[in-house]
Amino acid sequence: MKFNIYIKQILLKIFIKIIFLYSVLFSIHSCFTEVGNPEPEYSISGTATKGPISNGIVTAYSLKADGTLGVKIDSTTTNENGEFSFLYSESFKNPVAFILTEGLFKDEATSNNVYFEKEENLRTYLPSISTEQEISITALTEIATSCSLTKVQSGLSINNALEYAYNDIAQKFGLSNITMTPENPFKGNLDATKQESKYALIQAGFSEYAKINGAKNTISVVKAFALDNEDCTFDGKSFSNTIILEGTNNNFAADAYQKGLKEAIDSYISSSQNTTGIKAYPGNGNKNSYGY
């Protein structure tokens, strides 16, 4: 009798150990399959630049069909070169918003540090992202994004709206695309034949425009251009509403895109602040656009 009880106690202990071991193995499996690595991950890297933007916060969101922000995916900080990177899971690949806040950059036209204030940001919205993709957050992606959201409201799908708006701005500014990374204008000896160098000069043009017109800073000029492009047309107005250039009491010029920016780029190139090494604007650009 005592022997049978002893055997039962041993079997019970073995059973408890088996249950415990199973629960541990199941927890480890769950950790890897549900928490630590729910889906295959891939890397996304990019650069935030208006001049390289250091210590900026880049936050990624999924995008809803109506163009509004969905789930926050992750947030990271840019390094001194404006570079950032994320790891993404498959479920967040299409479409995605990258929004930069905070941070600072060296202004090309004045060499002053410019800080992003609380309500200021730059955006890049993408219809899709792929493995090992590099992206950029720039003045032009911000300007394109404003048009894309209007196109969604008019009935286009978010993907088609983004494709239209980003291609439209690339064409208007004489670039093959605006998601490439502009060259760093402060490193000097830029290659005038490269699109990335041309992109750097366009960005410097916004800084010079701010300097010439007494705007608060470069960011305020970029925001004025973005408001101007909300209706996907550069005419100095947001739809029928006038735009006040921040830091001034003046309306944003109706020819800021067609004339003002060209003059600003030329002014920067001929100034002592030009650190690119480029002496003339590369290529003819789009002759039907901002004067080149």
- What does the pLDDT read at residue 282? 86
Q: Taking residues 18-29, what's their average pLDDT?
A: 48
pLDDT interval class at 39 (50, 70, 90): low
The answer on pLDDT for 58 being more than 80 is yes
Contact (Cβ atoms closer than 8 angstroms) between residue 116 and residue 219: yes
Contacts of 130 (CB under 8 A, 6+ apart): 42, 93
CA distances, 181 to each of 30, 68, 83, 134, 242 (Å): 40, 25, 10, 8, 32
Bridge-based pairing of strands 96-106 and 54-63 is antiparallel
Per-residue burial over 135-168, b = 16 or more CB atoms within 10 Å of its CB, e = otherwise = bbbbbbbbbbbbbbbbbbeeebebbebbbbbbeb
Domain of residue 110, residue span? 41-137
| Digit-coded pLDDT (tens) for 143-196 | 999 999 999 999 999 999 999 999 999 999 999 999 999 999 999 999 999 999
Residue 183 gets which letter from DSSP? P
Classify residue 51: in a domain, yes or no: yes
Query: What CATH number should be reported for the domain holding residue 94?
Result: 2.60.40.10
Contact (Cβ atoms closer than 8 angstroms) between residue 260 and residue 206: no
Classify residue 194: in a domain, yes or no: no
Classify residue 154: in a domain, yes or no: no
Per-residue burial over 88-124, b = 16 or more CB atoms within 10 Å of its CB, e = otherwise = beeebbebbbbbbbbbbbbbbbeeeebebeeebbbbb
Classify residue 262: in a domain, yes or no: no
pLDDT interval class at 286 (50, 70, 90): very low
Higher-pLDDT residue of 282 and 252 is: 252
Contacts of 92 (CB under 8 A, 6+ apart): 60, 62, 71, 73
Classify residue 166: in a domain, yes or no: no
Contacts of 165 (CB under 8 A, 6+ apart): 144, 145, 147, 148, 151, 232
pLDDT interval class at 1 (50, 70, 90): low
The answer on pLDDT for 100 being more than 90 is yes
Q: Taking residues 99-114, what's their average pLDDT?
A: 97
Mean pLDDT value across the chain: 87
Model pTM? 0.84
Considering its fold, how many domains does the chain have in total? 1
Note the Cα 197 to chain centre separation in Å.
Answer: 18
- What does the pLDDT read at residue 6? 52
pLDDT interval class at 249 (50, 70, 90): very high
φ/ψ of 170, rounded to 5, equals -60, -45
Contact (Cβ atoms closer than 8 angstroms) between residue 174 and residue 287: no
Classify residue 95: in a domain, yes or no: yes
H helices of 104-182, in order, are 139-153, 158-172
Classify residue 160: in a domain, yes or no: no
The answer on pLDDT for 233 being more than 60 is yes
Helix/strand/coil percentages in the chain, nearest 5:
40, 25, 35
Closest CA to 190 of 268, 104, 263: 268
Classify residue 130: in a domain, yes or no: yes
The answer on pLDDT for 63 being more than 90 is yes
User: Where in the chain does DSSP place strands (E)?
Assistant: 41-48, 54-63, 69-77, 83-89, 96-106, 113-115, 121-126, 133-137, 237-238, 241-242
The answer on pLDDT for 278 being more than 50 is yes
pLDDT interval class at 15 (50, 70, 90): low
| Digit-coded pLDDT (tens) for 208-222 | 999 999 999 999 999
- What does the pLDDT read at residue 44? 85
